[in-house]
Every structure is written in C-alpha cells, then in structure tokens.
Amino acid sequence: MYRTESGDDVFIVDSHIHFWDASPENWKDEKHAEGWINCFYDYHANLSPDEHTWTLEEYRNPTDERMVADLFETGHVDKAVLQPTYLKEFYHKGFNTVEQQAYLLEKYPGKFILNGRFDPRDGAEGLARFRDEIDQYQFQGAKLYTAEWRGDSKGWKLSDPEARPFFDLCVERGVKNIHLHKGPTIWPLTLDAFDVTDVDVVATEYRDELNFIVEHCGLPRIEDFCWIATQEPNVYAGLSVVAPFIHAKPYYFAEVLSEVLWWVGEDRMMWASDYALWEPGWLIEKFWDYQLPQEILDKTGLDQITEEAKRKILGLNAAKLYDIPVPVAA
Ligand SMILES: [Zn+2]
C-alpha cells in the first residue's frame, strides 16, 4: 500500500516482475547469456536514478530476500505477478522459469501470483506440459515471448496456426490474462520478432475470452499499438519499461503516457516495474506525484491525469483482471 502525503492509501499491483538467475554458472551459450544480462543492465543503469542503480554483480542474480524487501517493504507493492522468461538456449536452467519461481508462492504466501508460458514451437509435447502446469499451479495468466530463439527459428507469431491449440487451452482452463512482450528489443533478439501487429489477429479471435496485456505498449511502435488497442476492448496497455522514462526522459514519458491515455484510456492501463529491471518504490512515488506538462495537454486536448486514474493504473485495473480483493480503504 502506498501512503500518500495527504495520508491516503493506494493499492498497488506490480503486474510484471521477474526473479531471474543470470549468474555465470547458469550461462550455457556464454556470448548470448552474458550479452542478454548486460543489455538488461544497460536498461537498468541508464533509466534508474543513481541511488537506485545496482552493481552488475548484484544485478545478475538477486536474492529472494532482496526482491521481497524491494517490492513489499520499500516498494509499496501489495501483490506482484511473476512473469516467466525461458531462454533455455542461453541459460542452463533458463533465465526465470516457472520452476525457478514457484517456491516463492510457498515461501511468501499471499504476495505473488505466478504466470505460466508456452511456445507453440514445442508442439504437442509443449501443449501437454502446459496443461500439466496449469493443473499444478492454477495459472490465471501467461507471458509470451515471440522473439525467443529456438534452433534456426528466430521467433514466432501469435497468429501462427501452431499457436491456436495453446490459446484454446487457455480459454478452456481460464488462463485468461495473456501478457505479451511487445516492442523493446533485447540483444541478441530482434525488434521485428517483437512486432505488435500480430496482437490484432488474436485479440479479435478471442475477443470475449482472453485479455491481451501488451507489455511496453509495443514501443517504439506506439502508434501501431494504439490503433490496435482502441478497436479491441480486450487489449490492455502494460506500462512496464514505459514507467522509468518518467525520470530519465520525462518529455518522452509524457508523450507516450498521453498517447495511451487518449487512445486506450485509464481503464485499460496497468502499471508495472518489470523488477529487477527497475525498483518499484521510486517509480510509484514519482508516478503518484506526476502531472502531464501543459504543452502536452494543449497539444492533445486531454485533461490532467486524476488521482482516480492513477489508482486504476497502479492497482485497481490489475486487481480486476486477477480477481485480487482490494481493501475498502484503498
Ligand atoms: Zn519483463
């Protein structure tokens, strides 16, 4: 719960976090495993305030104690959604898999929601494994990574026919919140394989059945994202990676936030830190105090962002999607 200066409580759901292991012992393809975490670290160091910048050593392999303190003690977060990223071609155990993160549910009861994942290139075997994992963990959501490498393949599309049985299984088992990394490239993966336009196909197809949370709003293809999202009521804007620009590049942040507010609106926006990319505490404090610049209001015709909108974005919208009970005072 974030306690504001005027003494109000704000309910916070961090809708996109990771608990990863990028320590050298876990590097399988050394060049790409090291390059990957170095690229994450560049995002972290370039967009964080100095006092919230870690060392590369700390960053490679955070402890669960540190994560829990950063999220729930100093970070104001009430509930956090763990989003897996596999990358088994780069890391022996994977980067942050369902298995690596699952113990957190028991060790810290009530704090985390664990999402699953699938990759249609795994075929029937992958489908069976995903079904077993749904039974075991009762996923409410999944995180998909369309730019992941697999042998010669450098990515897949949500609209591929091979993906259909997986989405159908999600519908059948109530795995209703599909988070998509769309936009920002992470070395060595490519921007094109993270292109946002395939969301349009599945969002229409599963309009009444699945929610698609487009993480990072498709940046830099914000315009494509907005034009798709405005027509698809089941498409949401995930503000992970957008959020830290509030500090490092504030005018850019204002432009992106105002575009998303104008096209998609405050009822379909979800804040996230993308921990350990960035710590949630400073992001939340800055966002709560945030006002859109007058120049942007004049240009867009938007009204100033309200506290009510911020409450929805910081927690209430995600609480609805994940059926998280919200204390009355929040
Ligand atoms: Zn992420």
Alpha-carbon distance 85 to 144, whole Å?
8
Residue 7 has pLDDT above 80, yes or no: yes
The pLDDT of residue 258 = 97
Which DSSP string corresponds to 28-45?
SSHHHHHHHHHHHHHHHH
Average pLDDT (138-156) is 94
Q: What's the mean pLDDT in 278-293?
A: 98
C-alpha of residue 294 to centroid of ligand 1, in Å: 31
Report the distance separating Cα 90 and Cα 224, nearest Å: 31
**What pLDDT was estimated at residue 162?**
98
Q: Is residue 250 part of a domain?
A: yes
Contact 96, 129 (CB under 8 A): no
Rounded distance from Cα 276 to ligand 1 centre (Å): 9
169 CA to centre of ligand 1 in angstroms:
24
- Give the residue among 205, 131, 129, 208 at the shortest CA–CA distance from 164: 205
Predicted pLDDT of residue 191? 83
Taking the C-alpha atoms of residue 58 and residue 4, their distance in angstroms, rounded to an integer, is 30
Q: From the CA of 214, how far away is ligand 1's center (Å)?
A: 11
Distance between Cα 323 and ligand 1 center (Å): 22
Mean pLDDT along residues 188-216: 93
Averaged pLDDT, 259-267: 98
Where in the sequence is the domain holding 104, given as residue range(s)? 2-321
Among 209, 204, 260, 205, which residue's Cα sits nearest to residue 236?
260
For residue 100, the CA-to-ligand 1 centroid distance in Å is 16
pLDDT digits (tens, 9 = 90+) for 309-322: 999 999 999 999 99
Q: What is the CATH number of the domain that holds 239?
A: 3.20.20.140
The model's pTM: 0.96
Calculate how far, in angstroms, residue 107's C-alpha sits from the geometric centre of ligand 1.
22
- Is 93 inside any structural domain? yes
User: Could you tell me if residue 26 is inside a domain?
Assistant: yes
Secondary structure of residue 71 in the 3-state scheme: helix
325 CA distance to ligand 1 centroid (A)? 24
- Average pLDDT taken over every residue of the chain: 96
Domain-embedded: residue 10: yes
In this structure, is residue 119 part of a structural domain?
A: yes
Q: Does a structural domain hold residue 57?
A: yes
CB 267 within 8 A of CB 317: yes
Q: State how many domains the chain has.
A: 1
CA of 16 to the centre of ligand 1 (A): 6
* Domain contains 329: no
Q: Alpha carbon 194 to chain centroid distance?
A: 14
Does residue 327 lie within any of the structural domains?
no
Q: Residues with Cβ within 5 Å of ion ligand 1?
A: 274
Q: How far is the CA of 280 from the centre of ligand 1 (A)?
A: 13
Interval between CA 83 and ligand 1 midpoint (Å): 7
The model's pLDDT over 66-122, given as tens digits with 9 standing for 90+, comes to 999 999 999 999 999 999 999 999 999 999 999 999 999 999 999 999 999 999 999
Q: What is the pLDDT of residue 268?
A: 98
Predicted pLDDT of residue 193: 80
- Record the tokens describing residue 75, joined without a space: 């970070």
pLDDT level of residue 183 (50, 70, 90 thresholds)? confident
Distance of CA 74 to the CA centre of its chain: 20
Beta bridge partners of 114: 82
Centroid of ligand 1 to alpha carbon of 301 (angstroms): 32
Gap from CA of 17 to ligand 1 centroid (Å): 6
| Residue 46 confidence (pLDDT) | 96
Among 47-51, 111-115, 171-175, 190-194, name the one with the lowest average pLDDT.
190-194
Q: Is the peptide bond before 188 cis (omega within 30 degrees of 0)?
A: yes
Compute, in angstroms, the gap from residue 216 CA to the centroid of ligand 1: 9
